[in-house]
Structure 1
């Protein structure tokens, strides 16, 4: 995998993206959302931040020229991940939607289900072992959840996206229990880019898991918060392995583009 090149991210038209996989870690404050655009123009959205980010999400999709989402993944029912998904689904054509088999009685979750029903969509179960039909040049593997639990975070849908010699592991809020299950499943966890689990909480990104992933770059989706995210424990662990860290709270939206061999990294600030 080749070197990275950091530039400021100004607009969706920057750079030669015609043959690139674009993975965009949208700045949604203390929440998470990733927009993926394939070399052939297919789109995927994983999560959409908090309820307060609904309009922000629609603005992002407009900015990136997205009028259809081929795949939507609601990683787990927490509001800081699925809060904006209802408005997105109501306003954009959606091909397929995946969510783990865990329910919630929150208003946020009920609003999402109403939006899904309103579009006549059927939720597909997100679980380990699935290979998603997205773009013939890009492999999308569902790595977790491996087992069933009543814990939202450890039921998080974890996705590995591979294009050529490059790969991304997007872990949502998966914590140590899920990380151990992923390791024990024998899945290939090696990735060039790791979305750090649970916004950098010390309950995720265990040393054993990090040793399996061995990323060169890590992205932490985090904003102002009272949880202490990202924790010094995780930041020190990443620094010790000389992993380059990008953070939404410090750099705004982070986009990592792959041509299948090299990565280009763009930041909003």
Structure 2
């Protein structure tokens, strides 16, 4: 593993200044009972599992797992709580299980399936089958695929409650880390624009994890007035030109960007996006070039580790 030099965020001065200023479709697939407005309650939902944390570490670890042409982020909080956002494609199921074991994970406190595309949720069924899970969030949009069906069955078999992923939620994860869901803001028929987008703030450092959110969702986030600035940004939709608009990038104004991409026939990441990031002075990391990428924060500065 290659360890990069510890860097202070280039926008720390500005951050300090700011500081000073101070699924309806599930009904078609599975039987539901007792459903609340903001919750998909799968039949037999009890989920009374014990909580096990990883050792305290006084740092937030955000690990962009190399799952080829797909996406998955494993987060480990300063107190040892865990969160998994997406789990790569179907052919990455065992890879995901192996990754989690490698990082010492026995329980996932929060699981988020950003949207029902296979390259994001393909490995989630196997993960849920093999690990204790606390809470699971997914947007209310369907996919008529076996991948989505298998995920729903794994959720049902585990007796889990699925909570609706949407803007305005604050997730109870670690008292030292603020976790806010800032998209989807509006309802869309487009799966990508229904992607769950999560912002984490730890001390004066911040991460924005965007799923496959495209320009429609990016504009919705801008219009909502939510604070989008983040030092680390997951580039939307694997570097597709459908995402990371100039207006959105300006609002986020990141120091670092990560592109979760592998060998593909789509031309991801697009040169237009790479040029846009370069022009903005953003330091870019890519799974296809550097393998798994881990960006750690102690609340003030970052350490970047890459597999190669």
Q: TM-score, normalised by structure 1?
A: 0.94
RMSD: 1.3
Corresponding residue for residue 285 of structure 2 = 246
Corresponding residue for residue 13 of structure 1 = none
Instruction: Tell whether 2:81 aligns with 1:42.
Output: yes
Instruction: Tell whether 2:127 aligns with 1:88.
Output: yes
1:183 CA displacement: 0.2
- For residue 184 of structure 1, give the secondary structure of its aligned residue in structure 2: helix
| Structure whose CA Rg is larger | 2
Matches within 5 A, 1:208-227: 208-227=247-266
Corresponding residue for residue 235 of structure 2 = 196
1:17 CA displacement: 7.7
Looking at structure 1, the residues matched to 192 and 56 of structure 2 have their Cα atoms a distance apart, in angstroms, of 33
Instruction: Tell whether 2:197 aligns with 1:158.
Output: yes
Q: What CA deviation, in whole Å up to 9, does each residue of 1:70-93 have, x standing for no partner?
A: 000000000000000000000000
- For residue 185 of structure 2, give the secondary structure of its aligned residue in structure 1: coil
Corresponding residue for residue 38 of structure 2 = none
Corresponding residue for residue 296 of structure 2 = 257
Looking at structure 2, the residues matched to 244 and 34 of structure 1 have their Cα atoms a distance apart, in angstroms, of 19
Choose the corresponding residue for 2:172, options 133, 137, 142: 133
Q: What CA deviation, in whole Å up to 9, does each residue of 1:94-142 have, x standing for no partner?
A: 0000000101110000000000000000100000000000000000000
Tell me if the contact between 2:90 and 2:147 (Cα under 8 Å) persists in the aligned partners: yes
Looking at structure 2, the residues matched to 58 and 104 of structure 1 have their Cα atoms a distance apart, in angstroms, of 24
1:18 CA displacement: 1.2
Q: What CA deviation, in whole Å up to 9, does each residue of 1:166-200 have, x standing for no partner?
A: 00000000000000000000000000000000000
Choose the corresponding residue for 1:29, options 68, 85, 100: 68
Aligned residues: 258
Where do 5+ consecutive residues of structure 1 fail to align?
7-15
